[in-house]
Amino acid sequence: MISPASTIRIRTMQDHIDVVSLADARLGVFAAAVPWREFRWYRKQRHFSGSYWSATMQAPVGYESRLEYANLLLCDFDPRVEWILSQPFLMEGDDHGTPRKHIPDYLIAHTDRSMCVIDVKPAAKLQIPAVRDSLAWTRREVEAHGWEYRVCAEPDPVLLTNVQFLAGYRRGFQFEPGQIDAATTELDAPVTFGEAARAVTPIAGELRFARSLVLHLLWTRQLRTDLSHLLSTTSVLEPT
């Protein structure tokens, strides 16, 4: 059961703070929300902050570390995700007599309208008592509300390498819709990546453009392949 005192503070584009009971929180309360903290860049800062152009949001989404960036990239690649907000709120409440405050790293909405709160922590820090207790309290409160709660650490390095490479082809406006449709129709059976690129070359005009088009189809999940192995010309692609 959610603690009656648990609230979330949401910062809006007008720099106003909305205070909402966690029990009453729905996706709609985040319509005007912006990240709780500003993402800053300065010399010798301890964390690598940045801004990533999200294909899901068609807009930049911030991150405060390379590990947050890696997990943001995987969220952007996930076809179930339709909305992402970084540092969505400040949650405040009581944990058996201990006052707690916590700012999650991401809030995402899935295509089925289910919500998920995400915290990103290096695996080495997950057993530190203060970190463990804060995350455990957050999990109890979020899951009692009916939302999913996920703690993400370092992703599989091969998967991350593949998705980071495919992300270079995530921008749909760089490809002609007619060519995307024609390539999808052409690649209606399992083929290797090399075979797919050659098959799409008459559609794209040149082999290099054909490769880009095939990689865009992999990013948008119109094609699939085993991303637990590094992508190569011999990777087998299948229509979804």
How confident is the model at residue 56, as a pLDDT?
A: 98
Domain extents for the chain? 7-152, 157-239
Reading the chain (240 residues) residue by residue, the pLDDT tens digits are: 555 569 999 999 888 999 999 999 999 999 999 999 887 666 666 668 899 999 999 999 999 999 999 999 999 999 999 999 999 999 999 999 999 999 999 999 999 999 999 999 999 999 999 999 999 999 999 999 999 999 999 999 999 999 999 999 999 999 999 999 999 999 999 999 999 999 999 999 999 999 999 999 999 999 999 999 999 999 999 999
> Cα separation of 92 and 103, whole Å?
9
- Domain 7-152 in CATH 3.40.1350.10: yes
Q: Are 149 and 139 in contact (CB under 8 A)?
A: yes
Closest CA to 53 of 185, 133, 173, 149: 173
- Show the tokens assigned to 164: 């980071």
- Show the tokens assigned to 67: 């590990």
Residue with tokens 């865009």: 216
Q: Which residues pair with 100 in a beta bridge?
A: 93
Question: Beta-carbon neighbour count of residue 5 at 10 Å?
Answer: 11
How confident is the model at residue 47, as a pLDDT?
A: 66
Distances (CA, A) of 110 to 25, 58, 70, 161, 206: 16, 16, 19, 24, 37
How confident is the model at residue 5, as a pLDDT?
A: 67
> Cα separation of 123 and 152, whole Å?
8
Cα 132 off chain centre by? 23
Helix (H/G/I), strand (E/B), else coil: 107: strand
> Cα separation of 76 and 63, whole Å?
13
How confident is the model at residue 105, as a pLDDT?
A: 98
Residue with tokens 């966690």: 22
How confident is the model at residue 46, as a pLDDT?
A: 65
Q: Are 5 and 22 in contact (CB under 8 A)?
A: no
How confident is the model at residue 4, as a pLDDT?
A: 58
Q: Are 55 and 83 in contact (CB under 8 A)?
A: no
Question: Beta-carbon neighbour count of residue 164 at 10 Å?
Answer: 14
How confident is the model at residue 3, as a pLDDT?
A: 59
